[in-house]
Every structure is written in C-alpha cells, then in structure tokens.
C-alpha cells in the first residue's frame, strides 16, 4: 500500500505522483479545480498542509536559536541529564521556561525507553550523544543541538520545530512520518539519513536540500531538485 509525504509548495494543488512504491502530496494555491484523485487524498493533503501553515506562522516570530547566541553557564544540577526522561511541561512547549533543560554533554547512547514521547522544548543539547536512541514521538521545539550526535537516532512520528542541528552528526538517523519545521542543518552530517513520509514545508525543504551530505536516495525521497 503506497504511503505519502506532504510538502507545502507555493502554488496549492493537491497532487499525488507515484515514485517508487510511495507518492508525494504537494500543496499549492492552484488547486481550485483541476486536481484529480480520491477525496481522502485531497483531505489528507489539505490537513497536512494546514498543519504546516500554522507551524510556519508560529515559527516566523520565534526563529531557531543561532549558533552564535550566548548560552547560559552549564547547569550544576546533579541530575540534570535525567531531566530529559521527564521532559518539559505543556506550558513550556513553545520554549518559555524559568529554568532551561540543560542536556549539554549528556550521554543517552542506545536509550530505548525513557526519551520516547517526551517534550524537550528549548533544550540545550549541544555536544550531547543520542546515538541509537529511540526518540520517537518526541516534541523538540526551539532546541539547541549544535554539535550533538544523533547517529542512528529514531525520530519516527516526532515533531522537530526550530531546532538548530548545525554541525550535528545525524548519520543514519530516521525521520519517518516526522514533522520538520523551521529547523537548520548547516554543516550537519546527514549520510544515510532515512526520510520516509516526512512532512516538511517548501522553504524548509529548499534549505535542507542544500546539505550535500544527504544521499541520492534520500534526495529523491525528499524531492530535492
């Protein structure tokens, strides 16, 4: 059974175009009447593009944390790394917090249980290791992951919003049915990254495709030109 990924494209038509076993739903403003295809496909495309549009509006006023931005001193809290297993509250989901979630230099290698589904809003993750970790269904909003390692990390069904992955190692990471919104991947290592049914905005896609370490197969799956 074919699956589909949604891209927010500048013009509005909901299109399904088979490539390999999957198809891509592209959204553009031109879809007033000429588009063909089953009603469920059109509905799914509009829903996903609506989510992306809402996320883009929110992201515009809260850009990604720049690598040059001054960060607070490293937390001296003895159990600061374990705080990732609790995550943030709903009220902190947009990066508003009294105390930062400081995970810098923490090691979560092969952590398969305690990170799943957590909210890691505004987390400071630089130089941390998440290699082989299960981060499925995680919500990462305005996180700072410059230089962090996510080799083989599973981001299935995760929401990755305004995360700075500059110089991070994402080799072999899995972005399956993942929302990627407003995040940056400058100089990140993205060899063998898996993109399957990834939901990504048109502008974000253009920026992501400038990363030359993405494999030809992944570029094809994303729709890079």
Domain ranges of the chain: 4-61, 65-225
Output 52 or 176, whichever has higher pLDDT.
Answer: 176
| CB of 140 closer than 8 Å to CB of 170 | no
Q: Is residue 15 pLDDT above 60, yes or no?
A: no
Angle at 21 between CA 155 and CA 8, to 5 degrees: 60
Give the tokens for residue 127: 């130089």
What average pLDDT score do residues 144-162 get? 98
Compute the distance between CA of residue 50 and CA of residue 44 in angstroms, rounded to an integer. 10
Q: Is residue 212 pLDDT above 50, yes or no?
A: yes
The b/e string for 184-217 (b: 16+ C-beta within 10 A; e otherwise) is bbeebbbebbbbebbbbbbebbeebbebeebeee
Min mean pLDDT across 6-15, 94-103, 122-131, 149-158 is at 6-15
Give percent above pLDDT 90 in the chain. 60
Q: Is residue 142 pLDDT above 60, yes or no?
A: yes
164: closest CA among 148, 145, 149? Answer: 145
pTM for the predicted model, two decimal places: 0.71
Average pLDDT, rounded, for the chain? 78
Residue 57, class by beta-carbon neighbours within 10 Å (0-12 exposed, 13-18 middle, 19+ buried)? exposed
Contacts 24+ apart (CB under 8 A), 58-65: 58/94, 59/161, 59/162, 59/181, 59/182, 62/94, 62/95, 62/142, 62/162, 63/162, 63/182, 64/142, 64/162, 64/163, 64/164, 64/182, 64/183, 64/184, 65/142, 65/143, 65/144, 65/162, 65/164
pLDDT the model gives residue 3 = 43
Q: Which fold has domain 65-225?
A: Pectate Lyase C-like (2.160.20)
What average pLDDT score do residues 35-51 get? 49
pLDDT the model gives residue 183 = 95
The number of beta carbons lying within 10 Å of the beta carbon of residue 175 is: 27
pLDDT the model gives residue 25 = 37
Q: Is residue 154 pLDDT above 50, yes or no?
A: yes
Residue 95's φ and ψ, nearest 5 degrees, are: 85, 15
212: closest CA among 193, 197, 196? Answer: 193
pLDDT the model gives residue 50 = 52
Min mean pLDDT across 9-18, 74-83, 97-106, 186-195 is at 9-18
pLDDT the model gives residue 9 = 42
Q: Is residue 23 pLDDT above 80, yes or no?
A: no
pLDDT tier at 96, thresholds 50, 70, 90: low
């Amino acid at each position: 059974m074919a699956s589909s990924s949604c891209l927010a494209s500048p013009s509005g038509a909901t299109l399904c175009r088979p490539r390999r076993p999957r198809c891509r739903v592209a959204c553009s403003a031109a879809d007033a009447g000429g588009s063909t295809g089953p009603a469920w496909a059109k509905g799914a495309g509009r829903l996903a593009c609506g989510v992306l549009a809402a996320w883009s509006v929110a992201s515009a006023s809260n850009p990604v944390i720049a690598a040059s931005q001054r960060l607070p001193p490293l937390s001296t809290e003895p159990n600061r790394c374990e705080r990732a297993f609790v995550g943030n509250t709903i009220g902190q989901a947009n990066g508003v917090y009294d105390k930062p979630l400081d995970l810098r230099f923490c090691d979560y290698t092969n952590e398969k249980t305690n990170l799943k589904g957590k909210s890691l809003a505004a987390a400071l993750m630089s130089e941390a290791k998440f290699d082989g970790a299960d981060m499925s269904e995680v919500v990462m909003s305005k996180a700072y992951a410059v230089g962090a390692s996510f080799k083989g990390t599973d981001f299935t069904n995760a929401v990755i919003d305004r995360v700075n992955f500059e110089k991070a190692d994402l080799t072999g990471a899995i972005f399956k049915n993942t929302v990627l919104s407003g995040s940056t991947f400058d100089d990140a290592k993205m060899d063998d990254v898996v993109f399957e049914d990834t939901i990504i905005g048109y502008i974000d896609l253009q920026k992501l495709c400038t990363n030359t370490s993405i494999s030809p197969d992944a570029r094809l799956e994303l729709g890079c030109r």
